[in-house]
Structure formats: structure tokens, C-alpha cells
Structure 1
Amino acid sequence: MAIWVKAAAAAGLSVMISSVAISAAFAEQLKLGVSLPLSGPASLAGTSIREGIEFAVKQANQKGGVFDQDVKVFIEDDEGNPTKGVTAVRKLIEQDHVVGISGTYVSAVAAAESKVAKEYKVPMISAGSTSSAVTDANTAGDPWFFRAFPGSRAQAKQTASDTLKKLNAKTVAVLYENSIYGKSLADEFKSNYEGIGGKVVAMEAYNPGDKDFYSSLTNVRAQSPSAVYIAGLMDSGAQIIKQAGELGVQTQIVGSGSMMSDKLIELAGPASEGFAVSSMFEPSTPNKHGAEFAKEFRAAYKKEPDVYSAIGFDSMGLLIEAARRAGKPDGAAMQKQLLNMPDFPLSQGPDRTTAKFDDKGSVEFKVGLAIVKNGKREWLPFD
């Protein structure tokens, strides 16, 4: 009887050891989450970002993955809605057990989601959210929301300078989306533009999802500005440009970084000719790492990448590399690595731009300017 008990105990111990070993093996798989607006007003950008994210994962897995296993990605559609975004992030963390998240695009959603990510100690890297307010909310030296490109403050400052100095526009009317993203860009643009000698003659707000801008554009036309600056998302931006053409608004139109996409040219049609936009990435980039990404993306998807796919590629690439350097799929360990990766190359920005995050989790680099000519964006050289 004693022998049987010992044998059973030994067998049970063997099963337990095997189970622990199997659990440990499965625990080593890197699980990452994605939250994006894949439906709704911001879905045009969301789908492009997703392509860049999936391309980064595909490349990593073709090279053996991480911890000798494929990287596994869970994707949630937040619809550009803060409430749904919080639900999406909680699902990714609590049910899918991800240790890092790429997301999201709409800044108001990112602000809500980042609070959940911080609560669970899961690093989150912006997949397009630009508002500086989201990184400003981080604790200095302990950020949990990262953005691997300049925020709205830096982008607006550069655009203000380019509008006055490169486009020679002395007066500007500002049309801005009434959101955390649009208002922060508009306020920063106005402050910087007037600070260097320009004059803002009108500030017109519109709501996310609006499609009729004729009234606002008629008011703007009456002011006869040298330029119109649009601070908002691509969908509305394309409609504003198109309707401005229909109304015969003969002025330079300048857009925020969300509008640096071929899709905007397609949506706005001939009215987009001459449109100027802040640009962090173009397929013709002088950034060698970005040029290599563009080449490989083009071969894989049979089309040109845009800034959204570049943002997605960088965002997911950073999470994968942070886990690899941490040596384990652990959010806290990955966060520490992200703060010490100034050697990691980014596809955006000038040549040799790297992920040198500041203590609030943001990366700064020179933002370029592109102008639509003959239906294509031409990127002006970096200063």
C-alpha cells in the first residue's frame, strides 16, 4: 500500500512538473495588443496603421519570433470612441493577457486607454495619437504611454513656421476639429504663428464626423486669408478641401499631420492640388531605415506605404524589441527598456532618427512639409 502511495505521489509530482514546464513554455510567448479605429470616422487611418503593425509582426516572425515562438497579436476595434477604447484595452489586458499595446489613433481615446494601461503596468505606444496632452499626463521618468514621433505642440510649431516662412502666408484662418487633438493643434498653431509675426484672422470649430463645411468656408472666404489651416482628421480634411474648391476659395490650404495620405488626395480630388501638409514620412524619405521599410512594404503589399503604416510599423517594432531586450514578456520590464532604446532606428523623420524617448515618453525630430503637385505629394527637403 505504501509503495502504491509513493508511486502515485511520484506520478502526481511528475505530472505537476510536466504541467509547470508546459505552462512556462507557453508563458514565454509574446502576446501584444492593438487598439485602433477600424470602423467609424477615423477608420481610413486605422486600416493603414494596422497594415504597418501586421507587417512588423510578419517580419519579426519570419526571423524566428521572440523567445523562440511567433509573436501573437490581438486586435480590437475601438471605433474612435473613448468608452469602447477602455473596454477594448481592458479585454486585451484582462482576457488576452497582453504585455504591451500599440494604440490608438484618436487622441481622446488614447487619453482614456492610457489610464488603464498605466493601472496594469502595460506599456502603450501611440499608433497615431498626436495630442501632447496625453504624454504630458505621464509622470516624468515613469511614462506608460509612449509616442515615437513629435506631439501636437511640436508639429503645430513647425507648421506655423513653414506656413509663414516657406509658404509666405501672412494671414491664416484656422478650421479645427472640436476635440482634444484638433483644439490642441489649433491653439498651438495660433500661438506660434502669431509669435513669429503672422496674423490669425478667424478660428472656426467643427465637430468630429461633420460633413458640411460650406458655412464655415463662406465665413473664411470673407476674411480673404493668405492660407487656411485645417487641424483635424483626414476624413473631414478631405471634405473641407473639396468643398473649398467648389466654393472657389482661392487660397493656400495647409493641413495637420493626420492628412499626409494618398487617400486624402483621392477623396478631395483635383481640389487637393497645391495642398500643403506636415509630413513625418514619405516613401521618398532620406531616412535610410525608412527607405528600406518602404521598399519591403511595397514588395509585400504592392502599393506605397504612408505615414500611418510607418507609425504602425515603428510602434509595433518598438514593443517587440523592448520584449526581446527585456528577455521576458513582462510589461514593467519592457517599459524600462523603452526608456533606454536610443539606438533603435525609426522609419519616420530625417535620416538616423531613433527612439530617444524623453522623460514624458515622447520622441522629438524635425517634421517636414509636403505639397501636392500633379496629384502627388512632393516632400520639401528638411531644413
Structure 2
Amino acid sequence: GKDNENGARLAVEEINAAGGLKVGDKTYKLDLVAEDDKADPKEGTLAAQKIVDSGAVAVIGHLNSGTTIPASKIYSDANMAQISPSATNPKYTEQGFKTAFRVVANDNQQGAVLANYAADTLKAKTIAILDDRTAYGQGLADVVERVAKQKGMNVVAREFTNDKATDFNAILTKVRATKPDVVMYGGMDATAGPMAKQMTQLGIKSTFLAGDGVCSPEFIKLAGDASGILHCSQAGEAVEKLAKGTEFVDKYKKRFNADVQVYSPYSYDAVYIVADAIKRAGKVDRASITAAIPATSYNGVTGTVAFDEKGDVKGGAISMFKVVNGKMEYVSTVR
């Protein structure tokens, strides 16, 4: 979550350093109110209520679908625009809330790309599918399972764990017996790292396939020597392939002395999208900002952002990566 916060903070600091936001005859400085929802749905709704009560005019968040979806009702009731830089579960924008937007592609797209990649690029005939039972992990795994079957792949195992687990030996021993070409995991890097290690220790020779929650430098750190088994997707273009990507990576590193994980470019753009909506609305109240966002056409770090009638980003891309010698290596982008 810190990566998301840093991206938003960088945008806020830049806007303020450039003199703030001029609206009519007034100039406003932006103030970033940060809350930690601990990736917990209950904490997510508490954080959302705090943000609404703080008088904030828009929210960039949440990180996980499991917190974004329950929090979205609170923002909707407050008529407060919510732009998630990273929640990919399709249900988020299927609730019909006029306040809900996202700047990344959703898991219907991402899951299909992963399944197609397994079949067409990895030439997999058999796949074992695991998930962490969160809204994100299970949602993504379900799409992969559906599309894998459509592609004629044999789903040889469907197992689940939870997002706090560290020992996966029991389910991986079951998986090993099925000898899958690919093991797909719907979950986050914190659990995927130890899982990859344990796969290697158990002698599982399968390719490890995962979504954007795993596709990060943090996974490489946690998996260590086992990281080379991973092929993964990120919801969006590869930052280094974007026109303004290299410049963003340099700015981020200079400001925070850390590498971009996955989503900071999206939270950065989301702040500028709110600023753009305020300028176009000519007002700083929640209702005016929410009403202005659907007409967004903003050229940011992540490309040109516009929204469809649900609040999903139009033409979202999915990029595939593999780990080579302890580094994420770009493979391809699917639109």
C-alpha cells in the first residue's frame, strides 16, 4: 500500500510546488489524508468513514478489491469520487455506483490474458489453480479457470489457502501429484514468495503463473532463488514502455529512495485526474468533482485515461512479464 500512497503523494507535492490548483479566483493547495485499511474489509469501511468525515473531496483507493468493494458504498452515500489505482475485481464497478472509477484493467481481462498466455505462449496442456480466497485472488483464479477450460486445458487441481498463510506444503503436495504444466495462483506477493520457494523445495517443475498482486520486486525478494519460475501479468502498460514512464521511475526513486512496485504510476495519475476534474468543474465540492470525472480524457504516465459508463478505464492493457536472473523482464502487452 505504501507504493500507492507514495505515487499519490508525489502528484500532490508536484501540484502544490507548481502553485496549487487555481479554481475561479481562488488557489487551493492539496492536502493528502492517508489511511491504512490493513487489507481488511472491516478496516476498509472504517478507513472510508474516516476519510468521508475528514472533509476530503475525493479518494484514491483502496489497494485491494476486498477493501475497495465494501468501502465503495460509503463513498457512494457521500457522493464522493473514488478512483482505485489497483482494485481489479469486476464487481467493484458492477454495483452501479456513480462514484466508482478505476484506472487499471479489470480481472475479466487479466484472467483471460493469463489463461491465453498459459495455453498459447507456455503451450500448457494441464494447469493447477490455487487462490487465497480474497475477492481479488479468488475472482482472478475463477476467470483463469473458466478461460483455461475454454482453451481446452485440463484443470488438474483447484485448491485454496488464505492471505495470511506461510506454509503451503499440504496443498502443494496435492498439486505435485497431478504434475501440472502450470501452477496458477490468485493472491498477493506476500504469500506467493514463500509458495514459490516451497514449490521448488518439493521438486515441482511447473511454471508459476500469477496476476498483478504478485508481479512485483517484493515477490522476487521473498522468493529468492525460486523467483525464476514466475510468469506474471500487470494490469496496464509496462512502465518502461510508456512515454513518460522512465521520467516517473526516476522521480519516484529520487523522492522515496525506493523502486516502483506496481501501482504508484496509477495513483499518481489518479490525483491528476481529480485535479483535472476540479479545474473543469470550476468547483471543489464532492458532487461537482464526481460529475466531472466521467468526461475525463487525461494523458498521464499510464497513457491516455478515459472511463466507460461503468467507471472502468477504456481500452485497458495487460502486460506480461517473466523473472530472469532476479529481475522482471517484459514479455508482451495485450489490449
TM-score, scaled to structure 1: 0.82
Q: 1:134 aligns to what?
A: 92
Counterpart-to-counterpart distance in 1, 2:70 and 2:319: 30
Deviations 1:307-337 (A, max 9, x none): 1222221222222222222222122211222
Question: Contact 1:282–1:379 at 8 Å: present in 2 too?
Answer: no
Select which of 160, 179, 185 maps to 1:230: 185
Percent of residue pairs identical? 28
Q: 1:379 aligns to what?
A: 330
Structure 2 residue 95 is the aligned partner of structure 1 residue 106: no
Structure 2 unaligned residues grouped into runs of 5+: none
Counterpart-to-counterpart distance in 2, 1:334 and 1:116: 17
SS in structure 2 of the partner of residue 381 of structure 1? strand
Select which of 26, 33, 47 maps to 1:88: 47
**Which stretch shifts more, 368-377 or 104-113?**
104-113
Question: Contact 1:102–1:127 at 8 Å: present in 2 too?
Answer: yes
Structure 1 counterpart of 2:219, which letter? L
Task: Check 1:202–1:187 CA distance in 2 against 1; reply closer, same or farther (3 A cut).
Answer: same
Q: 1:185 aligns to what?
A: 140
1:281 Cα deviation (Å)?
5.6
Counterpart-to-counterpart distance in 1, 2:333 and 2:263: 20
Structure 1 counterpart of 2:49, which letter? R
SS in structure 1 of the partner of residue 164 of structure 2? coil
Structure 2 counterpart of 1:294, which letter? V
Counterpart-to-counterpart distance in 2, 1:306 and 1:250: 27
SS in structure 1 of the partner of residue 263 of structure 2? helix
Aligned ranges 1:44-193 → 2 under 5 Å: 46-67=1-22, 68-94=27-53, 96-139=54-97, 143-193=98-148
Question: Contact 1:285–1:291 at 8 Å: present in 2 too?
Answer: yes
Structure 1 unaligned residues grouped into runs of 5+: 1-45
Structure 2 counterpart of 1:87, which letter? L
Counterpart-to-counterpart distance in 1, 2:39 and 2:78: 22
Structure 2 residue 296 is the aligned partner of structure 1 residue 337: no
SS in structure 1 of the partner of residue 60 of structure 2? strand
Q: 2:311 aligns to what?
A: 361
1:283 Cα deviation (Å)?
6.7
Q: 1:218 aligns to what?
A: 173
Task: Check 1:209–1:318 CA distance in 2 against 1; reply closer, same or farther (3 A cut).
Answer: same
Deviations 1:204-252 (A, max 9, x none): 0112211111111111110000000010111111121111111111110
Structure 1 counterpart of 2:6, which letter? E
Deviations 1:152-198 (A, max 9, x none): 11110111111111122121100111121112111111111111222
Task: Check 1:181–1:276 CA distance in 2 against 1; reply closer, same or farther (3 A cut).
Answer: same
Counterpart-to-counterpart distance in 1, 2:228 and 2:243: 29
**Which stretch shifts more, 170-179 or 274-283?**
274-283
1:125 Cα deviation (Å)?
0.8
1:371 Cα deviation (Å)?
0.4
Counterpart-to-counterpart distance in 1, 2:58 and 2:237: 27
Counterpart-to-counterpart distance in 1, 2:80 and 2:205: 49
TM-score, scaled to structure 2: 0.93
Counterpart-to-counterpart distance in 1, 2:293 and 2:246: 24
TM superposition outliers: structure 1 runs of 4+ over 6 Å: none
Structure 2 counterpart of 1:381, which letter? S
Question: Contact 1:102–1:124 at 8 Å: present in 2 too?
Answer: yes
Question: Contact 1:283–1:294 at 8 Å: present in 2 too?
Answer: no
Figure out how many residues of one structure are paired with residues of the other and give that number. Answer: 329
Structure 1 counterpart of 2:160, which letter? A
Task: Check 1:197–1:354 CA distance in 2 against 1; reply closer, same or farther (3 A cut).
Answer: same
SS in structure 1 of the partner of residue 16 of structure 2? helix
Structure 2 counterpart of 1:376, which letter? K
Indicate the RMSD between aligned Cα atoms, in angstroms.
1.7
Counterpart-to-counterpart distance in 1, 2:141 and 2:58: 31
Q: Whose Rg is larger?
A: 1
Counterpart-to-counterpart distance in 2, 1:271 and 1:236: 13
Select which of 291, 294, 298 maps to 2:249: 294
- Higher strand residue share: 2
Question: Contact 1:176–1:182 at 8 Å: present in 2 too?
Answer: yes
